[in-house]
Amino acid sequence: MQLRVNNQDYEIDVNGNTPLLNTLREHLKLTGSKYGCGEGVCGACTVLINGVPVRSCITPVGSTQNKEITTIEGLEQEGKLHSVQAAFLETDPFQCAYCASGMILSTVALLKRNPTPSRQEIVEAMQGNICRCGTYPALLEAIQVAVKK
């Protein structure tokens, strides 16, 4: 099967029903995308497919062929952080940071769709991402910093 992840082509041998998340983590060794629930409700596994955020834990890898997949590992370009990553690094919202990759990719997708979201729009867009450490107030701040970048 052919996959295109972070602008790189991969040829892999997996069953098309395998969740994209498992394929990324186990076959491509891209472990930045995290498992949090496996049922599409926590957002830890968020990746972008053609720029749209999806829950990779409930996305069969077979459905993602010939599409552009972006994971957290693909945001940094030539050693330069993506502006959303930079905003999160600077604002330092995290505790354990296990939610970080999903939060950052969801923010990237949000700002692509709506470059100047209101606080309410941010909350709506991020409702599917859980931070169990409860850093939501700081995350909101980080997203607002990202908006300005």
Partner 1 sequence: MEDSLTITRPVTRRSFFKLMGSGLAVIVSAKDVFSSSFISDATLAEDSIAAWIHVDEAGLIQVYTGKVEVGQNIRTSLTQIVAEELRVSMDAIRITMGDTQLTPYDRGTFGSLTTPNMSPILRKAAASLREMLIEMAADSWKTNVTSLTAKEGKVSHPNGTTITYRELTKGKKILKAVNQNVTLTPPEQWKVAGQSLPKVNGRDFVTGKHQYASDLQLPGMLVGKILRAPAYGATLTSVDTSKAKSMAGVTVVEDQNFVGVVGPDTQAVETALWEIKAQWKMKPQPSRATIFNFFREQAQTPRSEANVGNVDSVFQSATHVLSQTFQLDYIAHVPLEPRAAVAQWTGNNLTVWTGTQRPFGVQEELSELFKLPKEQIRVVMPDTGSGYGGKHSGDAALEAARLAKSTGKPVKVMWTREEEFKWAYFRPAGVIDVKSAVSEAGLLTAWEFHNYNSGPAGLRTPYEVPNQKIEFHPVDSPLRQGSYRALAATANVFARESQINDHAHMLKQDAVAFRMQNLKDPRLKNVLSATAEKFGWNKSAADSGQGIACAYEKGGYIGTAVEVRVVNGVAVIQRIVAAFECGKIINPRHLKSQISGSLVQGLGGALFESIDFTEGKIINASLANYRVPRFKDVPEIEIVLLDRPDINSTGAGEAPLVALAPAIRQALYQATGNRQNQLPMLPNG
Stretch that binds partner 1, among 48-56, 62-70, 110-118, 132-140 (CB under 8 A): 132-140
Q: Are 34 and 73 in contact (CB under 8 A)?
A: no
The count of residues interacting with ligand FES (CB under 6 A) is 22
Task: Please give the Cα distance from 40 to 56 (Å, whole number).
Answer: 8
Residue 69, helix vs strand vs coil: strand
Distance of closest approach, residue 56 Cβ to partner 1, in angstroms: 13
Tokens of 135: 């850093």
Q: Which of 7, 15, 63, 95 binds ligand FES (CB under 6 A)?
A: 95
- Give, as ranges, the residues between 2 and 31 that touch ligand FES (CB under 6 A): none
Residues whose CB is less than 8 angstroms from the CB of residue 17 and which lie 6 or more positions away in sequence, other chains included: 60, 61, 62
Query: What does the binding site for ligand FES look like in residue numbers (CB under 6 A)?
Result: 35-38, 40-45, 55, 57, 94-99, 131-133, 135
